[in-house]
Structure 1
């Protein structure tokens, strides 16, 4: 409802008793309507602002799959690094490769 239409209704109510309700009641209704319109406009602006952050279900599934693959690869790399660090630490402490092979710490 435009501001002009609101003013027109206010004037009509003030000039003439066209309703069984008093003019104050009509003015309160118009104020409530105007407030509701402002809230709706604000909600729509927020909705439009969030559109850039939304993805479809297919995009979400694809991104989740990529994340899962990368997380699995990261865990495997971390395990490999840990095993290699164990071998390095063993050599630095004076151990030999034969001892590591016997204990099953490294693959031949």
Structure 2
């Protein structure tokens, strides 16, 4: 890769030669064409630098979104688990001989409150 210093050196040399020998050039390309190519190279390097910076920003944002997605999936799994507890008909039934409380009655909504508290801690 050409360093910015080397590019400037080549441009200076080409400009000097173009000023003194402009017209008939024995090279395959003229110094003017060389200058245009070097300008295009500089522009490409600048665009590459911008693209690299944009990629780093995108990558950081994508990583954050992935992290938040994983957390949301864990929350959904926990919500399904708690809802499943309350939706399970067996958890509403009284123990044998009609004594005591059902699992839902014994729970008194503590699973739901815990789940809601987990959600409020993340806000």
Name the TM-score, length of structure 1 as normaliser: 0.49
Question: Relative contact order, CA 8 A, sep 6+: which one is greater?
Answer: 2
